[in-house]
Amino acid sequence: MTKGCVYLVGAGPGDPELLTVKALRLIKEAEVVVFDRLISQEIQDLIPNGATRIFAGKTPGRHPLRQEEINDLLLRLARSGRRVVRLKGGDPFVFGRGGEEAEHLARHRAPFEVVPGVTAAAGCSAYAGIPLTHRGLANTVRFITGHGKDDTDIDHDWPALVAADCTLVVYMGLGTLERIAASLIAAGMPADTPAAAIENGTTPAQRQEIGTIADLPGRVRTCRLAPPTLIVIGKVVSLADALAWFHPVTEGTCTEAHVAA
């Protein structure tokens, strides 16, 4: 691990055992760790006792450190000559704003490396028993965000997102799920298209609600799912029951309530 270098490290969606070998090594060698809100306590516990820890987490509408401030912080740390790990949930380059941080470092000629991580779409869907592609059900996948830049309204080309053989994965879409569902249906997506919401995916606190694109917003409200929640839409969601393998401690409470009703 080189001094005076910033390592943009993907920590995966939550399960510490999904860390890559390289990510784990860099965390253990770090002198400074700048970490996001979604970094689990189990992963934080891997940071060396002598390392400086800097929290740079964000929640919707609440940014203690603006992205520009985080960019400048990483630059200052790089210039301090210390071994710096910028620890980000999932993958740094998938809705993680890692590209902006790398761009800022590159512009100022500060050394950096990017360490990919398991993105939420891959990790959370797998732990929910939902393959992103499956012969006869989905041959393409699209990742979209559920909110716009600086928490502005989303403005997707909705008709372009409606495809019979595509799995649609929505990051950060819990707060706008009702609008997303209505927009997709208005653009031509069948109302009975299977859809899932996965809260705290890959962790012991994982909860998931399975329904259709039409009724998922109501189910999510009833279950009171909270961020981080990933939305998966498409025919592949119909495999969730048959392929269920992960059994978290909170499993099933909400879905069972719907069945009982």
Radius of gyration of the chain (CA): 19
Query: DSSP string of 85-108?
Result: EEEESB-TTSSS-HHHHHHHHHHT
Q: Are 6 and 74 in contact (CB under 8 A)?
A: yes
What are the percentages of helix, strand and coil residues in the chain, rounded to 5? 35, 25, 45
The question of whether 36 is a catalytic residue gets the answer yes
Catalytic residue among 22, 28, 36, 153: 36
Report which of 33, 204, 252, 228 is spatially closest to residue 145, judged by C-alpha positions: 228
**From 58, 72, 165, 235, the catalytic residue:** 58
Across the beta sheet with 207-212, the strand order is: 140-145, 166-171, 229-233, 194-199, 207-212
Task: Assign 172 to helix, strand or coil.
Answer: coil
Cα–Cα distance, 51 to 84 (Å, whole number)? 10
CA distance 184 to 148: 17
Answer for the pair 15, 126: CB distance below 8 angstroms, yes or no: no
Give the three-class secondary structure for 47: coil
Residue 148 to residue 156: CA distance in whole angstroms: 9
58 catalytic residue (yes or no)? yes
CB 97 within 8 A of CB 171: no
Distances (CA, A) of 107 to 102, 103, 173: 8, 6, 32
Residues with catalytic roles: 36, 58
